[in-house]
A = this chain, B = another copy of it.
Amino acid sequence: MIDQNHIAALTGILGDKGIVTAEADMAAYQTGARYDAGRAAIVLRPQTTEEVSAAVVYCVKNGIALIPQSGNTGLVSGSTPDTTGAQAVISLDRMTQRFDLDRDNRSLHADAGFRLSDVNRKLEKHGLFFPIDLGADPRLGGMLATNTGGSRFLKYGDVRRNTLGIKVVLADEEGTILDLTSGLRKNNTGIDWKQVFIGTSGSFGIITECVLNLEPLPKQVATAYLVPASGAHVMPLLRAMEDRLGAYLSAFEGISKNAVSAALDHVPSLKNPFQGGNVPDYVILAEISRTWVPREGEQSLDAVLESVLAEIWEGDDATLADAFVGPAHEMWSLRHALSEGVKHSGKLIAFDLSFRRGDIMAFCDRMKADMPQAFPEVTICDFGHIGDGGVHFNLVVPKDSASASDKAFEQRLRDWVFAIAVSDFNGSFSAEHAIGRKNQAYYDLYTQQKIKDMAKGLKAITSPGELGAVRFG
């Protein structure tokens, strides 16, 4: 346990501002974005990599378990302490000093405490951005530790793909600082160690700084709602769009009728964009974008999109039942309201799944077929990033049903969905939310023993101290 001596020593290392012990002040650091609340022994708020290192040395030597916390916007209880009251939270929220733009390298070396929105606001005047598009507004360290994906993955990839370097503190007795921030785009001189720390929830080290790839800001965007002729036509439609549009295609999001309806029902500001108000069974939000504005006499981007859709429409495949181009802001506002809508339509049990792209619709069909018998009170409100195989598979139980507050029911439902997604469809039980306490059991269940053994070995090599909410191996 943390006693007064520990507090005094850690205050000596981090200063008064670097320590939080008052229960009221710790509350925000103890409560996850969506799930549960734990209890922290203390919250550490270092301001530099060196302070992180010094704090880690003290904690490792004194057997104090550390939970790294960044923006604390995650959905799997990866950044909050457990309920024992014995773990220390080490927050990155004061690490917002370094912000070095390298315009020639199209990269940014930044402290891990900046929020995504801050980063992109600061970059806007340079015509650049960090191209990860999320509903939440995490800090950079957590984005790297969870390898966040988002809606423009199809064009720009995930955080892993856009990370050129990191600085990371290991939980060993030396508080080793690994400086992997050379920022080179092409470098093959051994193991690419940063990969071990990306997407592993802070259990192998605390990412304190990063070098990020930046992309030129799109200057034009065009969006359309596409109604596929049937679920079986979704993939041919995606293929047709990709073949023609290549790197222009920046989003291809699928939305089920139930998800649209939930949003329309519960987010009053939304307009129903569909003819006669008839929501189709499934709709695709497609976006294309480019970095320049056409000169006079050149084709607008809306015209490009319309021309491509006309070509698909006139083709032999009959993939489209309907399609209409519209203003990007309006079209995305429905997409962005889905989470909110689903959350308000009952007790939400959310899954962050992914599949080979061709398996998404088959999985959804299987669920629609089997759910009524297996869990009759559940409504499926799925939507997702069809272009990258991700599905936010949201299940809603009426608030007044007995199951809504039945933990065992939720557990049975989770086990059942994961078994089909992972075992039958070779899918992932965590597409873009990574692992936390929330899905630790599924890591344990679905990871082959050899991989778990290797992970355990890797933990001993990197951070033998108690670090992170996830147990690897």
Residue in contact with A186 in the complex, picked from B216, B431, B457, CB distance below 8 Å: B431
Residue in contact with A184 in the complex, picked from B192, B427, B462, CB distance below 8 Å: B427
Residue in contact with A189 in the complex, picked from B182, B245, B291, B430, CB distance below 8 Å: B430
Q: With A160-B192, A247-B155 given, is the CB distance from A461 to B457 under 8 Å? A: yes
Per-residue B-contact encoding for A287-303, CB less than 8 Å = 1, 0 else: 00011100100110000
Residue A271 at the B interface, CB < 8 A?
A: no
- The answer for the CA separation of A385 and B200 in the assembled complex, in Å, is 32
Nearest CB in chain B: distance from A245 CB, A: 6
Cβ B189 vs Cβ A216 within 8 A: no
Cβ B190 vs Cβ A451 within 8 A: yes
Per-residue B-contact encoding for A426-443, CB less than 8 Å = 1, 0 else: 111111111100000011
Residue in contact with A185 in the complex, picked from B195, B307, B389, CB distance below 8 Å: B389
Residue A472 at the B interface, CB < 8 A?
A: yes
Residues of chain B contacted by A121 (CB below 8 angstroms): none
Give A156's nearest chain B residue, CB to CB.
Answer: B247
Cβ A178 vs Cβ B389 within 8 A: no
Residue A105 at the B interface, CB < 8 A?
A: yes
Cβ B443 vs Cβ A189 within 8 A: yes
Residue A122 at the B interface, CB < 8 A?
A: no
Nearest CB in chain B: distance from A12 CB, A: 27
Cβ A291 vs Cβ B244 within 8 A: yes
Q: Which of A188, A242, A298, A431 has the most chain B CB atoms closer than 10 A to its own CB?
A: A188
Which residues of chain A from 12 to 61 have a CB within 8 Å of any chain B CB?
none
Number of copies: 2
Cβ A246 vs Cβ B104 within 8 A: no
Cβ B435 vs Cβ A190 within 8 A: yes
- The answer for the CA separation of A246 and B357 in the assembled complex, in Å, is 26
In the complex, identify which listed stretch (A145-153, A316-324, A405-413) lies at the interface while the others stay far away: A145-153
Residue A364 at the B interface, CB < 8 A?
A: no
- The answer for the CA separation of A218 and B191 in the assembled complex, in Å, is 33
- The answer for the CA separation of A458 and B192 in the assembled complex, in Å, is 12
Nearest CB in chain B: distance from A206 CB, A: 16
Give A126's nearest chain B residue, CB to CB.
Answer: B243
Residue in contact with A428 in the complex, picked from B186, B195, B427, CB distance below 8 Å: B186
Cβ B291 vs Cβ A389 within 8 A: no
Residues of chain B contacted by A329 (CB below 8 angstroms): none
Cβ B246 vs Cβ A218 within 8 A: yes
Residue A130 at the B interface, CB < 8 A?
A: no
Residues of chain B contacted by A295 (CB below 8 angstroms): 307
- Residue pairs across A and B with Cβ atoms less than 8 A apart, 17 shown, are A103-B239, A104-B235, A127-B243, A153-B185, A182-B428, A184-B389, A187-B431, A188-B434, A189-B429, A190-B435, A190-B455, A191-B196, A191-B199, A191-B472, A193-B451, A195-B196, A248-B290
**Partner-B contacts on A (CB < 8 A):** 102-107, 127, 146-147, 149, 153, 155, 157-158, 160-161, 176, 178, 182-193, 195-196, 198-200, 204, 215-216, 218, 235, 238-239, 242-248, 290-292, 295, 298-299, 307-308, 354-358, 385, 388-390, 426-435, 442-443, 446-447, 450-451, 454-455, 457-458, 460-462, 472
